[in-house]
Amino acid sequence: MIDKKTDSEKVVIGVDIGGTNTAIGIVNYKNELLLENSFLTKADEGIDAFIRRLTKKIKEAFGRYEATHVLEGIGVAAPSANYLNGIIESPANLKWGDVNFIEMMKKNFDVPIALINDANAAALGEQKFGSAKGMNNFIVLTLGTGLGTGIVVNGHLLYGENGFAGEIGHTIIEKDGRQCNCGRRGCLETYVSATGIKRTVFNFLSKYNDQSELRRLNFENVTGKQISEFALQNDQIALKAFNYTGEILGRALANIVTYFDPQAIILSGGLVDSDELLLNPTLKYFDEFLLNVYKGKVQILKSNLQNGEAAVLGACSFAREEIFENILNII
Amino acid sequence: MIDKKTDSEKVVIGVDIGGTNTAIGIVNYKNELLLENSFLTKADEGIDAFIRRLTKKIKEAFGRYEATHVLEGIGVAAPSANYLNGIIESPANLKWGDVNFIEMMKKNFDVPIALINDANAAALGEQKFGSAKGMNNFIVLTLGTGLGTGIVVNGHLLYGENGFAGEIGHTIIEKDGRQCNCGRRGCLETYVSATGIKRTVFNFLSKYNDQSELRRLNFENVTGKQISEFALQNDQIALKAFNYTGEILGRALANIVTYFDPQAIILSGGLVDSDELLLNPTLKYFDEFLLNVYKGKVQILKSNLQNGEAAVLGACSFAREEIFENILNII
């Protein structure tokens, strides 16, 4: 099937499954993003319902290109995804238990499907198209519903022994700290993520007496984006929450450096996009907490890719590599 | 000179510079340790005095073998050593500032000299001769005056961008915590090391009313070894200090796993040798704090090499590799 069309008509679809939204992109052989859209993940409806909706969305998206293009494969980025076995393993923010994702998707598609951890996909995206171009030692932090990390060492993604390296969002930074979806307490992502800053806001509403529009909102509905908007309007609770989040993130980044001695740490996700609200306090505390020997050697960068693009591009790129390697293996 | 003797007569000298003691070993071509001894580092006397004493000790040690053996090279393991430039960079527990160690040693010896971080040397030693034989993904923690870490990823030592990966002893685990020699506060090694447990003992002497022989000792003189001995005699302050140290170490190990997903973490150093005093609470808290996805997948092991041997053997092995590579480069 593939041979009938020329290279220029080959596309790959990338999917990035997030705790809140799922993004789909179509990438051509020039690595141009032809189309990107997203839909609500609604993980609480269960994995079967999600696979049905995802299948429909992918078919709708590719429908526009079907007459002129050929689909080479699908790359799927998801939290807690293990590329070694194709399983999404008990994702803390999706509550699906262990899901044999590739098996399930193969019932609906007859092209190769590759599964990759979402933050690893973001790291590949940054390395090939974004802020980490040309770098061999860097770490990407994705701040969404949770906090994901993709680690590149000597030019290659760090998978670890079982494919689960880089769950830095689940380092315990506070003994008996905030309850985490993983069943433990005090994980980094309960402080540094869209959900984390919301928890900080509600803690600060109880702690401080500042007037704040945030006092009119309920916990379930308030979003990271709203907190950013209030902070930009000089809301003191929102600003204090960004400062507190930046302090914890700055210290966490200083700690990450002691493990990897990287060239750069790249921050991405909605919470980072909001002007320099998070970046400024993060940089301040990072400098304060950084061990002397690393001073002046590590860049803290905001991703220069649009929100969500890195993981979608990375998933496509990963799928292409997997397809290419399998073909080579067959030969 | 080397060509005049047979392979069987070639030896390498390994040196491990610690905050308290410095060990010297002579290793033959079969990787057998012919001799090992140690002397007090006395870092406060300055680097020049130390180099003089080290030179004398090496010459004394090799003196016994000089007639029958040839010295191929010297491998030196030291804290904060950077193999990329041969410099010991501002070691926190030695207070020497930046020391161009290889340059200084070359004035006294006409064989190749290789410098390696002490915990990296220990990791090489464990990989080739010790508890990590055959492993590709593991981390070695050396608990001495400070806490060193050697990280092996995909079979190779992790150096990072500037040669300074693996300073996990300087991750900040407690904001505004104990003052560290690095100039910051709350570093892991201020809690988990021979010095760390001593600090804990003195804190607990103030906190608890238990009778304890430790109340008769002063801060400057008490050693990790004494604390172990008191704990084995059921001294409650010493036992509480081991439990507290194990809790912090167990949590730190659980956090390390979220970064690297290793096969094993290997603990070495005097503090770990004392029966299971530290290992038991460490394992208990490690299990408690470990993220579900890693359960049953990571071993916590005590080094099966004698105290100090891992770094000396690793330094020798590193020196041999360096010499071998340089010869190849020359050809």
Looking at every residue in chain B, the average pLDDT score rounds to: 92
What digits encode the pLDDT tens for the residues A50-97?
Answer: 999 999 999 999 999 999 999 999 999 998 888 888 899 877 778 888
Query: Which pLDDT value is given to residue A255?
Result: 98
Q: Is the pLDDT of residue B6 over 70?
A: no
Tokens of A300: 């803290």
Q: Mean pLDDT across the stretch B114-138?
A: 95
Exposed, middle or buried by CB within 10 Å (0-12, 13-18, 19+), for B8?
Answer: exposed
> Quick one: what percent of chain B has pLDDT higher than 90?
78
Query: Which pLDDT value is given to residue A1?
Result: 44
Query: Which pLDDT value is given to residue A7?
Result: 62
Closest approach of B98 to chain A, Cα-based (Å): 11
**pLDDT band at B2; cut points 50, 70, 90:** very low
Q: Mean pLDDT across the stretch B15-40?
A: 91
Cβ atoms within 10 Å, residue B258:
24
The chain B residue lying nearest A254, using CA atoms, is: B171
CATH architecture of B133-302: 2-Layer Sandwich (3.30)
On chain A, the residues whose CB falls within 8 A of the CB of B175 are: 251
ipTM computed for the complex: 0.89
Residue pair A32/A65 in contact (Cβ under 8 Å)? The answer is no
Q: Mean pLDDT across the stretch A225-239?
A: 96
| Contact map slice: A 196-255 vs B, CB within 8 A | 251, 254-255
Query: Which pLDDT value is given to residue B331?
Result: 42
Query: Which pLDDT value is given to residue A6?
Result: 63
Does A295 reach chain B within 8 Å, measured CB to CB? no
Query: Which pLDDT value is given to residue A240?
Result: 98
User: Which pTM was predicted?
Assistant: 0.90
Q: Is the pLDDT of residue B59 over 50?
A: yes
Does A97 reach chain B within 8 Å, measured CB to CB? no
What digits encode the pLDDT tens for the residues B211-263?
Answer: 999 999 999 889 999 999 999 999 999 999 999 999 999 999 999 999 999 99
The 3-state DSSP class for residue A242 equals: helix
Looking at every residue in chain A, the average pLDDT score rounds to: 92
Q: Give me the sign of the Cα torsion angle A271, A277, A278, A280.
A: positive
Please report, as a single letter, which amino acid is at residue A197. Answer: I
Residue pair A182/B292 in contact (Cβ under 8 Å)? The answer is yes
Spatial separation of the C-alpha atoms in residues B214 and B198, rounded to whole Å: 10
Does B85 reach chain A within 8 Å, measured CB to CB? no
The 3-state DSSP class for residue A243 equals: helix
What digits encode the pLDDT tens for the residues A256-312?
Answer: 999 999 999 999 988 888 779 999 999 999 999 999 989 999 999 999 997 678 999
Ranges in chain B annotated CATH 3.30.420.40 = 2-122+308-330, 133-302
Residue pair B309/B18 in contact (Cβ under 8 Å)? The answer is no
Q: Is the pLDDT of residue B326 over 90?
A: no
Closest approach of B301 to chain A, Cα-based (Å): 17
Closest approach of A85 to chain B, Cα-based (Å): 14
**pLDDT band at A105; cut points 50, 70, 90:** very high
A134-302, CATH topology level:
Nucleotidyltransferase; domain 5 (3.30.420)
Q: Is the pLDDT of residue A331 over 50?
A: no
Q: Is the pLDDT of residue A8 over 90?
A: no
- Ranked by mean pLDDT, the top range of A67-71, A273-277, B31-35, B325-329 is A67-71
Spatial separation of the C-alpha atoms in residues A211 and A208, rounded to whole Å: 9
Q: Is the pLDDT of residue B289 over 80?
A: yes
Query: Which pLDDT value is given to residue A229?
Result: 95
- DSSP assignment of B28-51 equals ETT--EEEEEEEE--GGG-HHHHH
**Is the domain covering A2-122+308-330 a CATH 3.40.50.300 domain?**
no
On chain A, the residues whose CB falls within 8 A of the CB of B262 are: 160-161
Ranges in chain A annotated CATH 3.30.420.40 = 2-122+308-330, 134-302
Query: Which pLDDT value is given to residue B295?
Result: 96
Q: Is the pLDDT of residue A144 over 60?
A: yes
Does B81 reach chain A within 8 Å, measured CB to CB? no
Pairing of strands A299-302, A113-117: unpaired
Q: Is the pLDDT of residue A4 over 70?
A: no
Closest approach of A162 to chain B, Cα-based (Å): 7
The chain A residue lying nearest B160, using CA atoms, is: A261
Pairing of strands A21-28, A10-17: antiparallel
Tokens of B123: 């990791």
